[in-house]
Structure 1
Amino acid sequence: MLATRSFDPATARREFRLAHTDVGAFVLWPRIVRAVRSRAPNLRLALRVLDQPSLGAALADGAVDMAIGSFPRLPATLIQRRLFDRHYVALVSREHRLAGQRLSLRRFAETPQLVVHGNSGVQDVISELLAAQQLQRQDLLELPSYLMVPPLLAQGEFLAVVPGQLAEVFNAHGTLAVLPLPFRLPPSTVRIYWHRRFNDDAGLQWLRGVLVEELAQGGRG
């Protein structure tokens, strides 16, 4: 175990390394930067976007201090703290034929879709829900990141299932249409994760407190 050290945010000069998914970086990072810098102006923040298989080792050896996201397959040696539940919506171009309409299960399955296989496994759940109704999505374009979704939606053909917060950011200029899904998806829980070796580090304790205060109400502000 690492020894506890005193920490004064007003004067501390230190770097904190946080790992996010691309969704977390895009939606939550501005909030985190503002919250930390308003309390500790001399701190440095470093963002790391890591995949789930490498994240456990990075937390254990201190390459990153904390991870924020939905990582259900991280090892049990990590400590976690719940922040909020993330819900999903369907997103299409405002010019799409489904914009403003009620989305049925069959129309959902028949519509060409952008699919991002994130850490939460939501796409697998969708496929299972459709299979239970003898339906299957046929026309899929798989993407490595949600950040590729908006320019492809702008082409007018595709539908994408995305976290609700991300849909709000993508639709900031009103060029898209947000539709309720025609089925109930279990929410993915966003958590803070850290290794028990660093549980007593005073600076990281302070940072965890700031993150909980800032993000535990769904990351909204």
Structure 2
Amino acid sequence: MTTGELPDLKLLQLFDLLYDTRSVTRAAEQLGQSQPTVSIWLGRLREFLQDPLFIRTPGGMAPTPQADALIGPCREILESLRRFAAWEIAFDPATAKRRFRICLTDASHVTLLPRLLAHMRAQAPGIRLEVARIDGNTERALESGEADLAIGHVPWLGGGIYQQQLYSQDWVCLANRHHPRLRTRLGVKQYRAEGHVAIAAGTGAQLLEQALLREQIQRNVVLELPGFLGLGAIIQTTDLIATLPRHIGQTLAKVNELSIHPCPFSVDGFAVRQHWHARYHHEAGNRWLREVVAQLFSSLR
């Protein structure tokens, strides 16, 4: 045996089996190899350790004193390799102390974050949540581990990013429940005539703009907001209407006692997905977080 040289794993497995079975034939069967092959392996192991290791006797292959001395270290090595192959850093949400950073759309701050936070506080009290915007830095943040997840409609994320669909979105219109001119179904003609609040942000905003252009509808925009903050109160106290994805629309309508109308023209829907980088696909904490998000929000389908 040369200094620093290591035996093949298959030779260690053979040594372990021969010590138990005392039979080359049975060891070969358990290894799924032919008896001549196993005999060749045994010859290599003997040469490597410079000892016969097993002596043929009427009762089978009897171990030498050297084999008796080496079986313990051999089995420790094999057990360590088994643990190595099955290694997973344990993640116990009840006791874990770590930060999760999630990139969210403005709408998700209202629709998803409260429910996710409530679940975390109940099931993982040591977890700290940080929320970031979805922007041009999101893909790099997922790759570097600066962010753990991105949740929303983010079709521009590139390669190396896994995704899972949570639910799909269509479009609705919000109005004051006591709107003086919306006693019945909202039609395209009335949609054109009413004053509107436009939301400049949001990953689906481009889909709405494309639909308005396609349908040749020019809105009378009275107010433009950068996001959904304050939108519910504005609709509640004016006769303006807003066109927005269903989930944020339903949430704002419930909180502010607003009425929901089907969008009177066709707007392409989109899917809300969670996204994570391939580097963290098997990381136990990231996997737990993804399972929580899927459990909480896949029902929104």
Tell me the TM-score range normalised by the shorter chain.
0.7 to 0.9
Larger Rg: 2
The answer to whether the 8 Å contact 1:113/1:159 transfers is: yes
Q: 2:184 aligns with which of 93, 101, 107?
A: 101
Q: Offset of 1:33 from its aligned partner?
A: 1.5
**Relative to structure 1, is the Cα distance of residues 52 and 140 closer, same or farther in structure 2, using a 3 angstrom cutoff?**
farther
- C-alpha contact (below 8 Å) 2:208/2:267 kept by paired residues: no
For 1:56-71, what aligned pairs fall within 5 Å after superposition? 56-71=139-154
- Equivalent position of 1:136 in the other structure: 218
User: Which has the larger displacement, 18-27 or 137-146?
Assistant: 137-146
Could you tell me which residue of structure 2 aligns to residue 148 of structure 1? 230
Q: Give runs of ≥4 in structure 1 deviating > 6 Å.
A: none
Q: Aligned-pair distance for 1:194?
A: 0.9
Kindly indicate whether residue 131 of structure 2 is the aligned counterpart of residue 47 of structure 1. Answer: yes
Go from structure 1 to structure 2 and tell me whether the alpha carbon gap of 1:4 and 1:109 turns closer, same or farther (over 3 Å shift).
Answer: farther
**1:145-182 per-position Cα deviation (integer Å, ceiling 9, x unaligned):** 01231232234231101222222322235642211111
* Unaligned 5+ runs, structure 2: 1-86
Higher helix share: 2
1:125 aligns with 2:204: no
Question: 2:215 is paired with a residue of what secondary structure?
Answer: helix
Give the aligned residue type for 1:36.
Answer: M
TM-score, normalised to structure 1, is 0.86
95-104 or 142-151, which deviates more: 95-104
Q: Which residue of the partner structure matches residue 110 of structure 2?
A: 26
2:167 to 84, 92, 100: 84
Q: 1:175 to 1:207 in 2, by over 3 A?
A: closer
Paired residue secondary structure (2:229) = helix
Corresponding letter in the other structure for 1:52: D
Q: TM-score, normalised by structure 2?
A: 0.65
In structure 2, distance between residues paired with 1:139 and 1:119: 20
Gapped regions of structure 1 (runs ≥ 5):
none
Identical aligned residues as a percent = 29
- Structure 1 range deviating more: 11-20 or 113-122: 113-122
- Structure of greater relative contact order (alpha carbons < 8 Å, 6+ residues apart): 1
Question: Retained in 1: the 8 A contact 2:103–2:134?
Answer: no
> Residue in 1 aligned with 2:246?
164
